[in-house]
Amino acid sequence: MISTSIMLILLALNLGPLQAAQQNRGFTAWVCQLCGCLPSPNANKAPALAMAVQPKDKDSKRATSGARANFHAVVGVAQKKVKGEDRFMCLANPLADVCWIGVFDGHGERGHLPAECAQVAFTQMGKIKAISLDAFKDTFSDVDKKCEKMPTAGTTASVVVIDQKQLVIAHVGDSRVVVAKKDEKQGVKVAFETKDHQIKNVFAAELLHSNDLFDELSELKLHSVPKKLISDQAEFDRLKRERARITGYRNDCLRLDGAVVCYRVLGDYYRFSSRSETFSKIRGSTCDPEIKIIPLDDSYKFVIAASDGVWDYVTSEEAIQWVEKQLNAGLRANAAAAKLLDLVSEKRKANNRGSDDETVVIAVLVRDPNELSKN
């Protein structure tokens, strides 16, 4: 079980749904049982907004087709703090009938600062009645620019908007989002998972032991890498085009300029010369998010967003099977999130490895608003 020092706090609905994304500093665990899409008090006077994130015309059909029912979310959060660099958001916006969840995992010197910057920015965006996909992307860029004042630090950002007919997932870094749906054989299966934007995932594992591909300073010779050792050609081409410097021969972790693990990330500004008075983003690093729109139907069950402290020990498949088991046993979303951290703790001890910040946000999708009160 998780240490008793972890506090579980239920957010009473009379506090107001927009307070659900307050700073979580000081809590070792924080639980939010929210009616993610409760109709606004004026819902009978004006039609509810169908989509909080308004796609461009070419995305409109893809974003709405196949969505046969209105969905709502019951959200639970559990967190274990070690370094104190993880932040999260959990926000219900009754103006747009949507729920926002997100995980932000800071790193580097004072890594909690860019994580908090991202948390605040997306919380403010979540209070807006309607936004465009361009505005969504712009928020990633805005946070990245603000991180220039927080040098040698950065953060992941994995944000999910759950409206009544679709999921919109925007993501940089390795805080993974996993979407689960029903499966006749296994009960539940992975319908979608975000890509972990780590440098090592651009290449095949054999690359790390290819002596002739690294120079005497352990720097990867990009122009010498054969196609058979490239796992993500598009990212590889971009890294080569931007003349990224990748190091890490015989190391489990390739890095940009020996410092940064992720190639898509917010922040990570460094001074590259002792004479320089300014900080610059590491070559090969970008803040552009990958965005996925998933139309919902009756087969979708829940969404998990978690920091890499969780995914270091469990696979996406293991996580959804474990959460499904807890939900089927009658546990609420917050208890299922805590149980997932229990599983991570057991696996970490079995591997005799030190702990890191661990944050889990689970959004259970339900069709009937009455189910919200039951949970």
Residue type, 68: R
Query: What pLDDT does 351 receive?
Result: 82
Same domain for 203 and 191: no
Same domain for 96 and 216: no
29 and 7 in contact (C-beta within 8 Å)?
A: yes
pTM of the predicted model as reported, rounded to 2 decimal places: 0.81
47 lies in some domain:
yes
- The residue from 223, 243, 261 where one domain ends is 261
CATH number (domain holding residue 121): 3.60.40.10
Same domain for 182 and 66: yes
20 and 34 in contact (C-beta within 8 Å)?
A: yes
Query: What pLDDT does 70 receive?
Result: 78
Residue 74 CA to residue 54 CA, distance in Å, equals 23
Same domain for 153 and 116: yes
Same domain for 164 and 89: yes
269 lies in some domain:
no
Return the H-helix or E-strand segment holding 267.
strand 266-267
Q: Which residues of the chain have pLDDT under 50?
A: 1-68
Same domain for 230 and 98: no
Query: What pLDDT does 373 receive?
Result: 53
Contacts of residue 330, Cβ cutoff 8 Å, sequence gap at least 6: none
276 lies in some domain:
no
71 and 164 in contact (C-beta within 8 Å)?
A: yes
For 348-367, letters b (16+ CB in 10 Å) and e give beeeeeeebbbbbbbbbbbe
Query: What pLDDT does 24 receive?
Result: 38
Residue 119 CA to residue 88 CA, distance in Å, equals 6
Query: What pLDDT does 273 receive?
Result: 59
Same domain for 227 and 92: no
1 lies in some domain:
no
Same domain for 314 and 169: yes
Query: What pLDDT does 257 receive?
Result: 86
Number of domains in the chain: 2
Query: What pLDDT does 279 receive?
Result: 83
For 102-131, letters b (16+ CB in 10 Å) and e give bbbbbbbeebbbbbbbbbbbbbebbeeeeb
356 lies in some domain:
yes
- What does residue 255 show for φ and ψ, rounded to 5 degrees? -135, 150
290 and 283 in contact (C-beta within 8 Å)?
A: no
96 lies in some domain:
yes
7 lies in some domain:
no
Query: What pLDDT does 47 receive?
Result: 26
Q: How far is CA 82 from the centre of its chain?
A: 19
Give the domain extent around 210.
Answer: 199-261
Same domain for 96 and 184: yes
120 and 141 in contact (C-beta within 8 Å)?
A: no
β-pair partners for 189? 181
Same domain for 39 and 138: yes
- By residue count, the chain amounts to 375
Closest CA relative to residue 166, chosen from 68, 296, 302: 296
Same domain for 165 and 71: yes
- The residue from 220, 246, 261 where one domain ends is 261
Residue with tokens 């000081």: 26
Q: Are strands 300-306 and 290-295 parallel, antiparallel or unpaired?
A: unpaired
Query: What pLDDT does 8 receive?
Result: 32
Same domain for 163 and 307: yes
